[in-house]
Structure 1
Amino acid sequence: MTAATDVAGMRAGHGAGLLLIFTAALAVPLTGRADDGIATDRPDFVESSDTVGKGRFQIETSVAFDRDKTQGVRSRTRSTPTLLRWGAWDHVELRLETDGAIRSKVTAGGLTDTVSGFADTSLGLKWHVADGSEDGSRPGMAWLIHVDAPSGSSAFKGEGWRPSVRFTAEWDLPRDLSAGVMAGLYQERNSDNHRYVGGILAATLGVPLRENWRAFVEVAGQSLASNRNGGKVVTLDTGLTWQLTPDLQMDTAVFRGLSKAAPDWSWTVGVSVRF
């Protein structure tokens, strides 16, 4: 739901972009608003049921690292996942998502191959269909509809347009705990260029730590498919979020692969800003 280039230039460009975003974020007033503050779709896999609100714009960007070793083949990948969200109406937002700049290094038999480029871009929308109740008896709910476009560099470009649909639900629980589940379907192409349908299923639990700090633990079936179609990507992950202001959040998360097709370890650190 993820061509060689000058790697040094790619690093510098992305670093400058993050610096610009963070500088703009620090300019956001420190006074609070009437709402509950920024609600992000990262760093966990389960999406929030909230939209950004009519006329609001939100950017969620990060750096992510994957590590894997299978049958003597070691791979390391660095990417820059980024999500742009714009509130078209009170309960509908338009979305643009990408894994951004990617650098992949694969080592096997003493030889190392490095490829750099850019990932595909996904276009979509989120429709918030119900608010949750304060006592947790009714969840907040939303539908997400996306389509991945074959727009990336040749080394990372998918085959054709690939649609997906997800449904997410969130509960507010006693003691400021929260819980969320997400289920969905996606259409992809396998190595034989045949279309197939895969599944998505994940659950997360949010835990308050102190004022403006929260932690989460999650089990995520990010991609549920047969071995012929790439296998299952299942992870156990945990992370932290820190809301510096009502419109600025920092976060980090670590993912442990539970299935053969999942990377052994993944780690991400990111920033989200609402305007």
Structure 2
Amino acid sequence: MRRLRTTPTAIRSTRSPTIWSGDPLLPARSAVRALAMVLCALACATAQAQDAADVEFDRPGIGFSPSVLAPARFAWEQGLPDASYDHSGGVRTTRYAAASLLRVGLGANLELQLGSDSRVWERTRSADAHEHVQGSGDSSVALKWLLPGSNDDMQWALLARQGVLTGASDIRAGRAQQDLGISVATGDLAVYVNATRDEDGTGWTASPSWTFLSTDTVAAYVEAALGTGAQRSHALGTGITWRVAPAMQLDLSVLRGFADAEDDWTGGFGVSFLLP
């Protein structure tokens, strides 16, 4: 089992579109909804049975699970919420995000993922000022591919993600984030490596993890992260999952960051479940 995942961090920006006279976020949101409807319909056309207990969710953690849903299988993963806290340069920043992820099995060892920080609350405090913003966050579209050679002893998968700037003007990033990651798992050990390009530049993240407890209902892991370039990080974390039913999982996780450019603490509580 492996459950690693990252969510792109929304960075406040004052930039706003000027070529659309109505809602500036409507074109991007409409395109995401249309893509979801089309690909979901294609998945339903090639339905395949998959035991709910065999499904691995991507929450929680740094990376993602090296497995895909069977065709016409749908899963929803929701932060309730995910949170981060940072204190640097005399400024304290607290952020809560209702991070949502819809996963759709497409067949041919492929899976579609539609993600969004559906609601974001962010508070910044310093000696001179207090600021509070809230609104919708950015979204993403991704494809996961279970690579050839995967078997019961070793699985590996590739995930390509493209960010979509759907967030409110004071929450969305200045540039859409792009990620290309690979996750490899064998037994209780897993390694995740990801390349990222965003408004701060490019960088790499590597994260090993060890699942030290694994039963039919409860699992717990520890993980570490080392990032370079724009993704500079040094972090240690842990998490636990509880399979309350074959098709539903609860999770709790925490991550401590030590690099100046990353949040001091991140983590959260979430639920993942298969849709009928």
Q: TM-score, normalised by structure 2?
A: 0.76
Secondary structure of the corresponding residue to residue 50 of structure 1: coil
Distance in 2 between residues matched to 1:68 and 1:197, nearest whole Å: 22
Query: Partner letter of residue 234 of structure 2?
Result: V
Distance in 1 between residues matched to 2:112 and 2:170, nearest whole Å: 28
Query: Partner letter of residue 265 of structure 1?
Result: W
Task: Work out whether residues 192 and 208 of structure 2, in 8 Å CA contact, stay in contact via their aligned partners in 1.
Answer: yes
Aligned pair 1:112/2:127, yes or no?
no
Measured at CA, do residues 161 and 107 of structure 1 come closer, stay the same or move farther in structure 2, by a change above 3 Å?
closer
Secondary structure of the corresponding residue to residue 87 of structure 2: strand
Determine the structure 2 residue equivalent to 1:48.
65
Secondary structure of the corresponding residue to residue 100 of structure 1: strand
Unaligned runs of 5+ in 2: 1-7, 13-49
* Structure 1 residue 161: Cα displacement: 3.6
Task: Work out whether residues 243 and 249 of structure 2, in 8 Å CA contact, stay in contact via their aligned partners in 1.
Answer: yes
Distance in 1 between residues matched to 2:264 and 2:76, nearest whole Å: 28
Task: Work out whether residues 122 and 132 of structure 2, in 8 Å CA contact, stay in contact via their aligned partners in 1.
Answer: yes
Task: Work out whether residues 78 and 271 of structure 2, in 8 Å CA contact, stay in contact via their aligned partners in 1.
Answer: yes
* Structure 1 residue 218: Cα displacement: 0.3
Secondary structure of the corresponding residue to residue 155 of structure 1: coil
Show CA shifts across 1:234-256 (max 9, x none).
Answer: 32110100011221100000111
Aligned pair 1:103/2:121, yes or no?
yes
Distance in 1 between residues matched to 2:63 and 2:177, nearest whole Å: 20
Distance in 1 between residues matched to 2:114 and 2:235, nearest whole Å: 24
Secondary structure of the corresponding residue to residue 220 of structure 1: strand
* Structure 1 residue 170: Cα displacement: 0.7
Determine the structure 1 residue equivalent to 2:217.
212
* Structure 1 residue 204: Cα displacement: 1.0
Show CA shifts across 1:12-62 (max 9, x none).
Answer: xxxxxxxxxxxxxxxxxxxxx746433011111121110111100000001
* Structure 1 residue 209: Cα displacement: 5.2
Determine the structure 2 residue equivalent to 1:189.
199
Measured at CA, do residues 44 and 131 of structure 1 come closer, stay the same or move farther in structure 2, by a change above 3 Å?
farther
* Structure 1 residue 132: Cα displacement: 4.3
Distance in 2 between residues matched to 1:250 and 1:180, nearest whole Å: 21
Unaligned runs of 5+ in 1: 4-32, 173-177, 191-195
Q: Which 4+ runs in 1 deviate beyond 3 A?
A: 33-36, 130-134
Task: Work out whether residues 119 and 137 of structure 2, in 8 Å CA contact, stay in contact via their aligned partners in 1.
Answer: yes
Task: Work out whether residues 46 and 204 of structure 1, in 8 Å CA contact, stay in contact via their aligned partners in 2.
Answer: no
Determine the structure 2 residue equivalent to 1:85.
103
* Structure 1 residue 129: Cα displacement: 1.1
Instruction: Tell me which moved more, 140-149 or 155-164.
Output: 155-164
Determine the structure 1 residue equivalent to 2:93.
75
* Structure 1 residue 117: Cα displacement: 1.6
Task: Work out whether residues 37 and 247 of structure 1, in 8 Å CA contact, stay in contact via their aligned partners in 2.
Answer: no
The 5 Å alignment of 1:120-159 reads 120-130=138-148, 132-134=150-152, 136=153, 139-159=154-174
Task: Work out whether residues 132 and 170 of structure 1, in 8 Å CA contact, stay in contact via their aligned partners in 2.
Answer: no
Q: Which of 112, 122, 127 is matched with 1:94 structurally?
A: 112
Aligned pair 1:179/2:178, yes or no?
no
Distance in 1 between residues matched to 2:64 and 2:214, nearest whole Å: 21
Distance in 2 between residues matched to 1:131 and 1:34, nearest whole Å: 22
Task: Work out whether residues 38 and 248 of structure 1, in 8 Å CA contact, stay in contact via their aligned partners in 2.
Answer: no
Distance in 2 between residues matched to 1:274 and 1:117, nearest whole Å: 27
Q: What is the aligned residue count? A: 228
Query: Partner letter of residue 200 of structure 1?
Result: T
Task: Work out whether residues 42 and 60 of structure 1, in 8 Å CA contact, stay in contact via their aligned partners in 2.
Answer: yes
Query: Partner letter of residue 223 of structure 2?
Result: E
